[in-house]
Chains A and B, each alone.
Chain A
Amino acid sequence: MKKEWVLTQDAFDELLAWLDADRDRAGSKYETIRLRLIKIFTCRGCSEAEELADETINRVVARLSDIAVDYHGDPALYFYAVSQKIHLEYLRKFKARKAEVPVEAAADQLAPTIHCLTDDIERDYDCLERCLDKLSANNRELVLGYYQEEKQAKIDHHKRLAQEMGIAVNALRIRAHRIRRTLEACVHGCLEQQPAH
């Protein structure tokens, strides 16, 4: 998406001041809003989720002097309202772009997807092993133990694990997921450092 407005330091400071009087808390709120906007655009099936989130933020900042004084409520919801407009614009552009692409060209565009899903499995696994080694022994054991088994056996397995650890099943689920997220971020970092074959 084409950006028509560039975020300056002054405008960014103004945004932070609107989000919270405490600058550190404001920075954290900004990061949270941005991350969640990206996720929302992703969940709507947008392939340019990050750009759309940044465009949403830019639009809010551009109107900040008009809204900051009179706006009441959680600023995150104002971002949400703007993101709805951005999404509609995206859909319009997407439809127009899709109509212009001939069928043959659309078929050609499928090839990279196939490459992405079938290649580099060894590279992914090597990175995973490295990242597993970076986890503490307890976390490694937990994440590898948690994701064993399938279907009903998985449910029973989680109950048994939670019982052994003396915590609720949902607490275990959250703990395993947090370790998984750390692991996933590590694997992405590892893959970015390695050249693709």
Chain B
Amino acid sequence: MTPTPEVQEKLRRYLLGSLGDDDRELVERELLTSDELFEELLIVEDEITDEYLAGELSHEDRSLFDQYFLNPPERQEKLRFARALNRGVKAADDKQPARKSSSSFWPNNPFLFRAAAIAAIVVIVAGVLWITFRNRSTPATFAVLRLTVSQGTRSGDVTEVPTLNLPLREDGLRIVIALPSQSLPATRYRVQMETDYGDKRFVEPVTQDNQSLTVMLPSGELRRGQYSLILFAVMSDGASQRISGSYRFNLQ
């Protein structure tokens, strides 16, 4: 099994747990006997982790990553390492001097110079706008919080509420919400976020499947307090129905 793009894709599906049983067995048998394929698997595993951190995975793959790929402790270690490496790469990039020499770049003709300057300004403005909107939708790094439903009231429930410390070092907080096992046959879900400092708003899920959904909160929007997420199942006729219980966490 030479690592062609098709084999690489098969390995991705295998690592994300979405390969059929027959293909999975073929891959595993080959992994035990082929050095080349085994090394390819390790590379693809790292690439998936990097893509996750960069927010480059599709919604479906991100969901598989959260639900399946990240389960073994070894993978969580990999994610930690990848995050540190990411930071190291960015730090090294910041230290680097400008890569291109200015004398050869700027044209001698004043008209061309002016045109180039205008074009550069347009590119910079577009770049700033792009980065701004990109950062809003997909933070580059994030902490992960997995929540299951709590049925009790805030004061009476004895279940320990997960707590994170602010400020986060990451750009955002990814919250993976496990759906109740007997959830309603919804076409989609809406998530209402309530805080003890009076904020109450809907947060759009970034991924969703039969078992979980994920919401993302940028670090800049997080304040200390008690948070409660309430799910609403939206049915095929557009009607929405609250799912009992809530998903709680604290930021301190």
Chain A interface residues (CB < 8 Å from chain B): 33, 36-37, 39-40, 42-43, 45-47, 49, 74, 76-77, 79-80, 103-104, 106-108, 110-111, 113-114, 116-118, 120-121, 124-125, 127-129, 132, 144, 147-148, 150-151, 170, 173-174, 177, 180-181, 183-184, 187-188
Contact = CB atoms under 8 A, between A and B. Distances in A.
Interface stretch (B144-152, B196-204, B205-213): B144-152
Interface stretch (B33-41, B108-116, B184-192, B231-239): B33-41
A77 B121 CA distance: 61
Given A45-B68, A150-B56, A177-B43, A118 B164 contact: yes
A114 B250 CA distance: 12
Contacts of A113: 76, 146
Nearest to A33: B32
A68 to B, nearest CB: 18
B221 interface: no
Contacts of B42: 39, 177, 181
How many B residues are at the interface, by size bracket? 35 or more
B162 A128 contact: no
Interface string B40-83: 01110010001000101000000000001001111111111101
Given A151-B56, A174-B39, A188-B81, 16 more contacts: A104-B158, A108-B160, A110-B146, A114-B145, A117-B144, A118-B168, A120-B80, A125-B88, A128-B81, A144-B92, A147-B89, A148-B89, A170-B3, A177-B42, A184-B78, A184-B81
